[in-house]
Structure 1
């Protein structure tokens, strides 16, 4: 609209003295940005009030403010170009009025419409207007001030792309330097324009730097908080004179927590959300993980939601002991990522060791579940039957004892034998006890089989010996009839007595071994059977 209709109309409008007024063109170029500014800044304020920020990311916010700065540079460059053309034509008009030639200088000769006029050609061949207005000539008396570069560098005559980029660069340079490198003339309009550049550059540059600093600092604010916290931790460890191994463990945990959470406190974020939204988020994060526990997979959605609501995030570094054998179990862990080693020695029993690897989807701390399902469980937490240690960095969800007790009290009313078998089958404690029970039964069976076979061999050997002794006795009787049979009968009787003593001694040794084995077995008790959880209804409900 401005280029095709307004500007041609103003160019064709002439006064009585045929003086072209370029001020209208300047006003049109400048006034078109007033509605733009009216839309940009109020809309930005409304967006900030509604959303808190204009953009969601820091880099987008910095780019947004930089574009505003470039837009202001574009406006200043355009105004500088228009004012440069106006000052150039003002010089022509000033020299034209003062020029004394046989061919009179008319201002219409300076317009494009009078370029083909015959008198204009005669005047152009004799006039010194263009030479006197050239700032490269030392004879010119006209002071262009800050618009001199537009004339000397022929900005008004070059192609559009070069013209636009040069004007944009000029505006950006003056805004960034607050107009300090401008050398103005005494022309009031030029001086006012330079003052406007200085004020606008100061305001926009401060606005740009402030907003960009705010946006960019949002990228590093949590990192700076972590650095401050790490420095405070180092000072505290130095003040408490902790040994170097403990310091290294603390540093690893702080580092891993930063990598895993990026300084975001998930619990505080969830606490600030409505209950319904918090339940849906926890369900999305934890439901699939909880359902991997076969015992919990038997629950309905309501109880699963109750469990998911009470799960909290837990982080452990490599080498951390989650719980030691004999310590109270305070929580159940559901592993998200990482590996844990779960081992037991049956309370320090010599020669006994059982170890398994827990990975993603596994859980530990099932002793707490058995304790929570007891109808009259004490306030004392159950002791751990296993030692659980992190092999690598572990991220998990934890269900605390009081929360599990609440869920168990609601769930115990749904009594089922299937749940009891499910709990036994997937419990590592019950699996270890069952394996030890089967091993002990097998050893007893093998020992009894061995004792039975030995007893049968001894009985068979004793029977054969008695059978072999009868012919000897008969032969002895026949020999007694002879004169030489007395010595043979005496030797046979002595051999019989020796064999009987040998059999009695072997039986005594076998009985002694069985007694010693019984004493040994009594000194090494079997692995204690785990407590049986109660899946029945409450006594008050009967």
Structure 2
């Protein structure tokens, strides 16, 4: 059965049509292949290609971004380590003479750190063979297409940056210090290490060059080199300090070079009392007998003193000789050289007094140019980063100042000015000057919906009216909610004004009052707290199948008692959400709306109060009716008593007048009862109009097509 379910296609050759039965002739059947499958060789090739592509890394991935930041830090460390080779030559004072030597202990320590930095360069070279690149021909639209073919990636890298990376990663200083210099130590007297300096400079240029494309790639990927403003300011400060470190190390090396040049110049001119040999300037010959005799009688060291300007002018390097910087311990001479570089780089070399030596003058010119460029670029960037921390605060200060000037110019009353100040201050405390709506509008719809759901869902669920809705409707509501801030004693809406939005309170309290359209003797006031809402007239308007363009009028005046934070649903957004409500067909939602609507609560309270008053009027009318029916009962005993008292004294005429008087009292009582009933009836008829019943939100009616 499983074999029959599969689809097969058979290819034939030499097909012929048969006109009689329209059947095709078959002569040579070809192989049978399954539909949707590939040949075994093709599948193996594809699988191997997929495995190779999996090893290729995306240049914009988070992993590569983290590596680029680590490699950038290692590059800065390497740029810091390399100038330390300039501190290897030093001067040692021995008795009355001096000599030059090389600090091999410092060289070993520096080469160890240099080796660790070289490992990062090597790893970066290996990683570049696995990093894809964007095809230049695909950049017409969008980000472009990544090239993941390992051969093309390797070919492109070998043609572009491979030579620069290779030169930067070669361990040439290590070879020079560990192998070459110890081998020629005994026969070489020139300890200025010109070869080592040239090697370091040869590798320093490509290493310095690698920082620019690396930082440029990080900026293209993330927009900034560092994630925070403080880190950006620190990064630019480190670059400035690195330049000062390089400048100080170069100044130290040139100082030793100038001092050695003076010794050589004077040594070549000294022939008596004993000829000076250049080997005597090396500390390796301190135990030589001829050198000991020479150092007693020589004038080389006294003539090369910075005080003897007529023999040799040290220029800007005089401080290194007079203050014994070239013969101090490493930390002492390092920090002094760092200070010298930072001082002259910051002052553009204005305090330098150079000699007429061309190399010294060019070095001073280089200091001035570097100071100007670095101070303008790095310190300018540092200032920009630091200002970005307080840019919002500065904008708020400028806006507050403009507001104060505008209020004074318009001569606003003091109470209005105070209200404006409170609102500006409260808005700053709540938002810190960030326009949240503009940020959200620049994001994709799906991402904006998820952010709004994260920010608003828990707060929206606090509103009991929304707690009855499903997730889809809550998402629609959260997507269209906008934050609203109100200061104390601010009127949100007044009775009779159009209702433009529906507010859902998150924090604070509102006072909602009504006079039922200005009716005399009627006033109702309630307090809205977190979880309550106002502006429900807008919901009833939005739920109408054919709602008018004009917005409904507010039946209540809403005023902020305290500072209020709320979410607002505007009329057009509420219209869309209301269309979703109509699909619920839920009586429970309708009853929930009635229960939590203070408009309905007010109407219900007035309805109950009116019913109670009608009940009281009926009780009063019934009581008056009973009094009318029994109005003659109290008068009868009085009349009989009067007749008995005057029975023997009254005349027939007085009996007639007494009966007439009793009849008049009865008529007056009847009229009084009738007037009382008519007054009660008139009071009922001329009663003021009842409070209008709120509009019933229709949650089930579908709009007419």
TM-score tier after normalising by the smaller chain length: 0.7 to 0.9
Q: 1:467 to 1:329 in 2, by over 3 A?
A: same
> 1:533 corresponds to which residue?
697
Q: Deviations over 1:323-367 (max 9, x none)?
A: 111122121112233332211111112222111222333211011
Cross-structure match for 1:54: 225
**How big is the shift at 1:112?**
2.3
Which one of the candidate residues 29, 32, 39 is aligned to 2:210? 39
1:96 aligns with 2:267: yes
Shift of 1:394: 3.1
Correspondence list, 1:394-409, <5 A: 394-409=564-579
- CA distance in 2 between counterparts of 1:369 and 1:52 reads 45
Bigger drift between 57-66 and 72-81 goes to 57-66
2:285 is matched with 114
C-alpha distance in 2, partners of 1:122/1:347? 121
- For residue 333 of structure 2, what is the aligned residue in structure 1? 163
CA distance in 1, matches of 2:670, 2:177: 132
State the distance in 2 between where 1:20 and 1:538 align: 97
Q: Is 1:357 aligned to 2:521, yes or no?
A: no
Change (3 A) 1:139 1:465: closer
TM-score by length of 1: 0.86
Given the superposition, is the C-alpha separation of residues 490 and 31 from structure 1 closer, same or farther in structure 2, using an over 3 Å criterion?
farther
The residue aligned with 1:487 is 650
Counterpart Cα distance in 2 of 1:86 and 1:311: 73
Residue 123 of structure 1 pairs with residue 294 of structure 2: yes
Which ranges in structure 2 are unaligned for 5 or more consecutive residues? 1-81, 86-106, 109-173
Query: For residues 207 and 377 of structure 1, do their structure 2 counterparts lie closer, same or farther at Cα, with a shift above 3 Å needed?
Result: closer
Q: Secondary structure at the match of 2:325?
A: coil
Q: Distance in 1 between matches of 2:597 and 2:222?
A: 50
Confirm whether residue 430 of structure 1 aligns to residue 594 of structure 2.
no
Q: Which residues in structure 2 correspond to 1:321-470 (within 5 Å)?
A: 321-453=491-623, 455-456=625-626, 459=629, 462-466=632-636
Question: Is the Cα contact below 8 Å between 1:11 and 1:20 reproduced in 2?
Answer: no
Identify if the C-alpha distance between structure 1 residues 124 and 62 changes in structure 2 by more than 3 Å, giving closer, same or farther: same
Is the deviation greater in 243-252 or in 436-445? 243-252
Q: Distance in 1 between matches of 2:677 and 2:332?
A: 110
Q: Partners in 2 of 1:464 and 1:17 — Cα distance? A: 151
Q: How does 1:274-285 map to 2 (within 5 A)?
A: 274-285=444-455
**Which has the higher mean CA deviation after the structures are superposed, 346-355 or 531-540?**
531-540
Is residue 495–residue 514 contact of structure 2 (8 Å, CA) maintained in 1? yes
Distance 1:128 1:421 in 2: 112
What are the ranges of 5 or more consecutive residues in structure 1 without an aligned counterpart?
none
Measured in 2, the distance between the counterparts of 1:167 and 1:32 equals 22
Per-residue deviation, 1:279: 1.0
Which residue of 96, 102, 105 corresponds with 2:276?
A: 105
Residues 1:95 and 1:502: Cα distance change in structure 2 (over 3 Å): farther
Match of 2:184? 13
Higher relative contact order (CA 8 A, sep 6+): 1
Q: How many residues align?
A: 533
SS at structure 2 position matched to 1:529: coil
Aligned to 1:512: 675
8 A contact 2:586–2:700 mirrored in 1: yes
State whether structure 2 residue 468 is matched by structure 1 residue 298: yes
C-alpha displacement at 1:200, in angstroms?
Answer: 1.6
8 Å contact from structure 2 (residues 248, 340) kept in 1: yes
The C-alpha deviation readout for 1:141-163, integer Å capped at 9, x for no partner, is 22111111111111123333322
Instruction: Give, in whole Å, the separation in 2 of the partners of 1:262 and 1:510.
Output: 75
| Secondary structure at 2:521 match in 1 | coil
**Mapping 1:147-226, distance limit 5 Å:** 147-222=317-392, 225=395
Instruction: Identify which range, 1-10 or 96-105, moves more after superposition.
Output: 1-10
Name the residue aligned to 2:161. none
Q: 1:330 to 1:504 in 2, by over 3 A?
A: farther
Preserved contact between residue 412 and residue 534 of structure 1 (Cα < 8 Å): yes
Q: Is the 8 A contact 1:29 1:79 kept in 2?
A: no
d(CA) in 1 for partners of 2:547, 2:596? 22
| Corresponding position of 1:134 | 305
CA distance in 2, matches of 1:268, 1:28: 55
Hey, what's the Cα distance between the residues in 2 that align with 1:121 and 1:178? 45
In structure 2, relative to structure 1, the CA distance for the partners of 1:487 and 1:19 (3 Å cut) is: closer
- Give the drift of 1:526: 2.0
Partner SS state of residue 530, structure 1: coil
1:68 pairs with 2:231:
no
RMSD of Structure 2 on Structure 1 (CA):
3.4
**Aligned counterpart, 1:24:** 195
Which one of 455, 475, 478 corresponds to residue 308 of structure 1? 478
When normalised by structure 2's length, the TM-score is: 0.68
Instruction: Quote the Cα distance in structure 1 between the aligned partners of 2:379 and 2:455.
Output: 40
Is the CA contact 1:320–1:389 (under 8 Å) kept in the aligned structure 2?
yes
Deviation at 1:13, TM superposition (A): 2.1
1:28 CA drift (Å): 5.1
